[in-house]
Chains A and B, each alone.
Chain A
């Protein structure tokens, strides 16, 4: 029967175990702290990619502005860390001690009102979720209720990414401007810069990543996940089955925004700074490319896409800095033309059938023939 009550099917379970083993065991054991911290940075983009799988892969809503939400999450975290680093003690040489250094350089003499909540870690954590979530809710409501979709939506999200960058750069006194927020030191008095802290933060991030994978997988398996797929194909039929299409799109877009924001917050913690260069059009498009390379229909694929593309970016731009953008462009064209379902599509087409066959032959040796079931599988 159709009912599959398990949380993961067999190939997803293999993907889950492999990813967990690599991230929890193999990488921490084999990489030095510097490289592990790089992986932590790559993984912050995996959060964005998981959101894009739901929103773009399943819901068919292409957002070219995920950098906005990544940035909002990152800035919320960075503002908390910056305030803690700007205690009166640390900033007594400033003309106004107790405010962030960039404010002092810009002749601001009191902490602006919107900075006040970031004195509290609890509020900060809430705001990391709420600010991008509400912002996505507003954009989503404004767009989807008016049935703005497809390319128009993509272009508008891109414009928002550009606007937010300009705003951050322009309001230097409040945001740190083009340099962003640097010199982040402690989290509730715990120094985030030494090696052992980096390792702990890496594990915290991986745990959060798996939590997000779990949430995304849960959504995918509910009826909501199937409605997203249905909506992508036949929006009108969903509407005429009694669903408000706009509400489902808003939900998917908000979920993607919240995932991206968690990634952004982890970025600020792991990398130790946040700047507008992670908010704008180029990083937003890169985020879509990670997802496309990994496979926009696959949660695990998207995680791998984020890790591998960023790894390639680091290695390529270390040796040929000018070539990277060309490489990224070529990669995107290759994905669109040659393997539209990304790495996970290649896996499903070439690797998975072999595993299935191995599995089937082992099974038929040990048990009495059950091959008829296995034969039906590779049709995907």
Chain B
């Protein structure tokens, strides 16, 4: 579909030579990796490895010191956060960030990709398409009968689901999730895994996760970060048996 620059066709996301330095400390150092269409990529690594920073760089929250991030041939490092979202990149934060003074319905409605300008939001109509889509997504995230509930009344797990729903309604081509099952109860975790398994179809997903069982379940490919650089990359099987990975991350 999209126009591709010099990148080989199959890469949805191409990160090359990405570096960011905070006062001289290189949180991400000359990082390169590629994500294909419909690929589920999990980033693992010890604390401080730069995993969240990589997501911050892709979605524009942090500006890169050098390097390039190409999404469908578009250079993301030059775009603003909202423009990056509009090209089709969705991001879920580590701590659930939902709008607590709004209802579940309103949270999802704001995320619906229409009327995103000042004028557009003044003339936005809550029509049938919006209502149906909101209800459809609410059903997927197990919140169908909580549409009128203010988000501050939801449990931690429900807030996580709501935020996933807010991403889902944007229908991004690249979905980035930062520890989506962290802080969840066992039953919530199982439900979330089921939910994620359903929504990661037909799109590329970049996930940060510590839960190895979960990683093994979903990952097509795993990238292990250590001190801002790639330590190992490949299938879970390969990564798990990599002595370097065992030493710095998996333990024993």
| CB-nearest residue of chain A to B124 | A223
**B81 CB–A CB distance under 8 Å:** yes
Smallest distance from the beta carbon of B128 to chain A beta carbons, Å?
A: 11
By a beta-carbon cutoff of 8 Å, the part of chain B in contact with chain A is 59, 61, 80-82, 85-86, 90-91, 93, 97-103, 105-107, 109-111, 113, 115-118, 121-124, 126, 131, 147-148, 163, 166, 170
Assuming the contacts A234-B97, A243-B82, asked whether A251 and B118 have C-beta atoms less than 8 A apart, the reply is yes
Query: Which of A219, A232, A236, A242 is within 8 Å of B122, CB to CB?
Result: A219
| CB-nearest residue of chain A to B107 | A230
Task: Give the 8 A-B residue pairs with the shortest CB-CB distance, closest first.
Answer: A242-B85, A223-B124, A230-B99, A224-B121, A223-B121, A237-B97, A239-B81, A2-B105
Structural contact, A244 and B85, CB atoms closer than 8 A: no
Assuming the contacts A226-B110, A242-B85, asked whether A236 and B101 have C-beta atoms less than 8 A apart, the reply is no
Structural contact, A226 and B102, CB atoms closer than 8 A: yes
With a cutoff of 8 Å between Cβ atoms, the chain B residues found around residue A232 in the complex are 101
| Residue with the greatest number of chain A CB neighbours at <10 A, chosen from B117, B121, B166 | B121
With a cutoff of 8 Å between Cβ atoms, the chain A residues found around residue B123 in the complex are 222
Structural contact, A244 and B82, CB atoms closer than 8 A: yes
Could you count the A-B residue pairs with CB atoms below 8 Å apart for me: how many are there? 92
Structural contact, B82 and A242, CB atoms closer than 8 A: yes
**A87 CB–B CB distance under 8 Å:** no
Report the separation of the CA atoms of residues A152 and B229 in the bound assembly, to the nearest whole angstrom.
37
Structural contact, A247 and B147, CB atoms closer than 8 A: no
| CB-nearest residue of chain B to A254 | B118
| CB-nearest residue of chain B to A252 | B118
Report the separation of the CA atoms of residues A290 and B122 in the bound assembly, to the nearest whole angstrom.
28
Structural contact, B110 and A244, CB atoms closer than 8 A: no
Smallest distance from the beta carbon of A256 to chain B beta carbons, Å?
A: 14
**A187 CB–B CB distance under 8 Å:** no
Please provide the chain A residues from 188 to 241 with a CB less than 8 Å away from any CB of chain B in the complex: 219, 222-224, 226-227, 229-230, 232-234, 236-241
Query: Which of A1, A3, A236, A241 is within 8 Å of B166, CB to CB?
Result: A241
Structural contact, B110 and A241, CB atoms closer than 8 A: yes
Query: Which of B80, B91, B121, B148 is within 8 Å of A2, CB to CB?
Result: B148
Structural contact, A223 and B61, CB atoms closer than 8 A: no
Structural contact, B124 and A238, CB atoms closer than 8 A: no
| CB-nearest residue of chain A to B61 | A236
Structural contact, A230 and B110, CB atoms closer than 8 A: yes
